[in-house]
A and B are shown apart, each in its own frame.
Chain A
Amino acid sequence: MNENVKSCAFPQDPTAVPYVYQDDPYLIPTSTVESRSFLLAKKSGENAAKFIINSHPKYFQKDVAEPHIPCLMPESFEPQIEDVSEAALRERIRLRKVKASVGLFDQLLQAGTTVSLETTNSLLDLLCYYGDQEPPADYPFQQTEHMENLEEATEESNQTSKMKTIPWKTQNNAERVFALMPEKNAHSYCTMIRGMVKHRAYAQALNLYTELLNNRLRADVYTFNALIEAKMFMPDEKFEDKWNNILDLLKHMVAQKVKPNLQTFNAMLKSLRKFYLLGRLPALQTLREMKHIGIEPSLATYHHIIHLFYHRANAIKTPSLIIYDIMQELEGRTFSPQDLDDDKFFQSAMNVCSSLRDLELAYQVHRLLNTGDNRKLIGSDLQLNFYYSKFFSLICSMEQIDVTLKWYKDLIPSVFFPHSQTLIGLLQALDVANRLEMVPQIWKDSKEYGHTFRDALRQEILMLMARDKHPPELQVAFADCAADIKSTYESQDARQTALDWPANSLQYIAVLFLRGGRTQEAWKMLALFKKHNKIPRSELLEEFMDTAKASESPALAIEVVKLASAFSLPVCERLAQRIMTDFTVDEKQKEALGNLTASNNSSDGDSDSDSDISEDKRK
């Protein structure tokens, strides 16, 4: 089963980057941030070139291409026709100049010329689409007058994204033009309604719709889709009323003989999402109606349904089984983009698989992603990362380790860059499967993906390596890895003052050095403990004692005890006793030992056994 999945899953080369990047190690991105910034830089270079081409068109006019390639010629954004006429108005509408076309329209009306219905309708289209604002500029340095408009607009839209809709102002230019029109046809009303709904003026849209009905005109299917959305956003109504209103709208559609399309049903489902549990039954009814009419549901439809049935709060107690039906239905089908929300399906499906902890279902979803061209519907970089992070985390937690490692090699880094949490999941999977020898390799990979300074990841790696004793070659490899991690801490220390080395890390690094045979460096680690005000645990000191015993040097052992007393650890005296039993110490050292334990006891302030005091008395 898994072999089938693997064979069809990756038609692309797992060792190559996507072709948009230059194929060179210096120029290949190593993290999501870098990949995004490179693509943005390339795009901004293209914009700079287009700016130069459009500002000096006379150098780019020579046309040697046979046949003519229009997209490689310079474009002009200035209107050519200067006089006050309808043709000039049409040109400005074509060039998307909102304020200029409104100004010209006013001039034409003042001059007394009548503007034809189609031109006024196209002016209304322009105004309603852009909500009476200038269109967001692809070339923001294009015109000087645009710069001033842009400054006003940026104050409003600072927190919002480029195409975020500005709320519809009453009595703006669109409404004014609409009022000035001597005759209005259905198209005018429809445009106005759609513009109002787009810019969140729902009550006005519904009022305009009643006016349209009063004038005995018929709306088109796009207007009805907009009206469904408007009905849903009306405040202060219960679900029953809203749902009945929407059903009324559908009855109007039938009466006006307008056929619903895919977007109608998707709009209904999207509106039903706001009602969580109450919306489930109507959603299924909508789906059945859709199939009955013969409209093929798109991925957005299924996305809305999944969202409705698997919203976070409800999924905990008895999760619905509808996802299995959905996946069975979608098996082997290819989709093309038909709705704006199509690209959200795969994320929500994988999210559900992850919350249900079902690996087979996840493989099914992944198979669907790889049929035909469905890969194009995965969405933006962020969505792709989300999908694959969830997928890989599920694989790590539920699949055998060999298969997991094969997926790791195939997916990372050619398809996505993992978060540090994903890598921690992978490490835990290795731990469960007892394959800790891969840990240094994972650390090396993590450094490449930009996780060199992630503290949680470093501690996890150190903890896994230091927890148990391993055969000697492995210990040496672990010690090298620990040295590498230590150097990252040091470089971080150099860059930011007063970095707090976590106690656990110091502990683990020291243990790993000891076990790997690097005793000198381990002793240096003990000095670091003092420097960063962290206290070593007693197991660490016991291990130091073991190494001192192995190397048969009492001086080292006494060093350990000195350190223990410096930290005022209770284990100090046990260590001292061990020295007495295991080592052959001479008088001076015994005396020093005695002093140390005595000072430790006195500083502790606890009444200890007579043996120490008697030892003292002997000297």
Chain B
Amino acid sequence: MAASASVRGLGWRVLACSWELPCTWRALHTSAVCAKNRAARVRVAKGDKPVSYEEAHAPHHIAHRKGWLSLHTGNLDGEDHAAERTVEDVFLRKFMLGTFPGCLADQIVLKRRANQVDICALVLRQLPAHKFYFLVGYSETLLSHFYKCPVRLHLQTVPSKVVYKYI
């Protein structure tokens, strides 16, 4: 990752050097800036921005005022494959966002139990019910075939996005 970024930045000369002395390579890290004091926080506006409970609380409130969005045992002591779970989570969130366009009221919650994946989504009542069932059948089958494990979708509908406060 760092190597490719720096290659882009510094041009042909660098590429030529790298083949000769790989062990004395110094790279310049130039990824996008992600300041950790701005992660997962909705910035305060003029008092007219509605936020849900999930969005209103910052990450340091996890395990104090809010729970986790993704539950798996990969991060426990002695357990493996945490990274794979994270990559799967990213894919599942993007997939759900695209398959239920404009219908998701909040972040989806992913629960892994044995080899099953339970996707719990809060949806708005934008579509008639039979269309929801079509999308549920479609996503469950496609994701099961993709990840080779049972994937189940649990929907809960709300009439509109549940607002916790206005900031």
Contact = CB atoms under 8 A, between A and B. Distances in A.
B146 A38 contact: no
Given A38-B129, A45-B133, A65-B149, A24 B141 contact: no
Contacts of A237: none
Given A45-B138, A49-B145, A50-B141, A26 B125 contact: yes
Interface in A35-71: 37-39, 41-46, 48-50, 52-53, 59-60, 63-65, 69
A22 B137 contact: no
B157 A59 contact: no
Interface string A1-39: 000000000000000000000111111010000100111
B135 interface: yes
Interface in B113-167: 125, 129-142, 144-149, 154-157
Contact of A24 (B137, B144, B146, B157): B157
A29 B129 CA distance: 9
A49 B157 contact: no
Interface in B65-80: none
B154 A45 contact: no
A234 interface: no
Contacts of B130: 37-38, 41
Contact of A64 (B125, B134, B147): B147
A87 interface: no
Contacts of B157: 24-27
Given A49-B145, A50-B141, A60-B145, 12 more contacts: A22-B155, A24-B157, A27-B129, A41-B130, A41-B133, A44-B137, A45-B139, A48-B137, A49-B137, A49-B140, A52-B142, A74-B145
Contacts of B142: 49, 52-53
A243 to B, nearest CB: 51
A72 interface: yes
B152 to A, nearest CB: 10
A59 B146 contact: yes
A233 to B, nearest CB: 41
A49 B140 CA distance: 9
B116 to A, nearest CB: 12
A74 B140 CA distance: 15
User: Interface SS of chain A: helix, strand, loop or mixed?
Assistant: helix
Nearest to A37: B130
A45 B129 contact: no
5 contacts: A22-B132, A27-B132, A27-B133, A37-B130, A44-B134
A37 B139 CA distance: 18
B155 A24 contact: yes
A60 B148 CA distance: 9
A43 B138 CA distance: 8
B122 to A, nearest CB: 10
Contacts of B147: 64
Interface residues of B, number: 25
Given A59-B146, A72-B148, A74-B145, A27 B155 contact: yes
A72 B137 contact: no
Contacts of A65: 148-149
A42 B147 CA distance: 20
A129 to B, nearest CB: 28
A2 B138 CA distance: 45
A74 B144 CA distance: 11
Given A27-B155, A27-B157, A41-B131, A22 B144 contact: no
Contacts of A49: 137-142, 145
B74 to A, nearest CB: 14
A48 B135 CA distance: 10
Contacts of B148: 63-65, 69, 72
A51 to B, nearest CB: 10
Contact of B129 (A26, A59, A60, A72): A26
Chain A, interface size: which category? 20 to 34
Nearest to B150: A72
Given A22-B136, A22-B155, A46 B131 contact: no
A27 B141 CA distance: 19
Interface in B26-64: none
Nearest to A21: B133
Nearest to A73: B145
B141 A45 contact: yes
A72 B147 CA distance: 9
A42 B155 contact: no
A43 B145 contact: no
A38 B154 CA distance: 15
B149 to A, nearest CB: 7
A34 B136 CA distance: 16
Contact of A38 (B133, B140, B144, B156): B133
A72 B137 CA distance: 15
Nearest to A40: B130
Contacts of A73: 145
Nearest to B155: A22
A50 B146 CA distance: 11
A59 B138 CA distance: 16
Contacts of A53: 141-142, 145
A74 B146 CA distance: 10
A359 B167 CA distance: 66
Contacts of B138: 45-46, 48-49
B81 to A, nearest CB: 10
B145 A42 contact: no
Contact of A72 (B131, B145, B155): B145
**Candidate in A41, A44, A52, A73 with the most chain B CB atoms within 10 angstroms:** A41
A60 B135 CA distance: 20
Given A60-B146, A74-B145, A41 B137 contact: yes
A29 B131 CA distance: 13
Contacts of B129: 26-27, 29, 34, 38
Nearest to A28: B129
Interface in A52-100: 52-53, 59-60, 63-65, 69, 72-74
A41 B131 CA distance: 7
Nearest to B129: A27
A41 B144 CA distance: 18
**Candidate in B131, B136, B145 with the most chain A CB atoms within 10 angstroms:** B145
B139 to A, nearest CB: 8
Nearest to A60: B145
Contacts of B145: 49, 53, 60, 72-74
Contacts of B139: 45, 49
B137 A42 contact: yes
A26 B156 CA distance: 9
Q: Which 7 residue pairs across A and B have the least CB separation, nearest first?
A: A45-B137, A45-B138, A49-B141, A42-B137, A65-B148, A45-B134, A41-B133
Nearest to A22: B155
Contacts of B135: 45
A45 B136 contact: yes
Contacts of B146: 59-60
A582 B94 CA distance: 80
Contacts of A39: 133
A24 B156 contact: yes
A72 B144 contact: yes
Contacts of A46: 137-138, 140-141
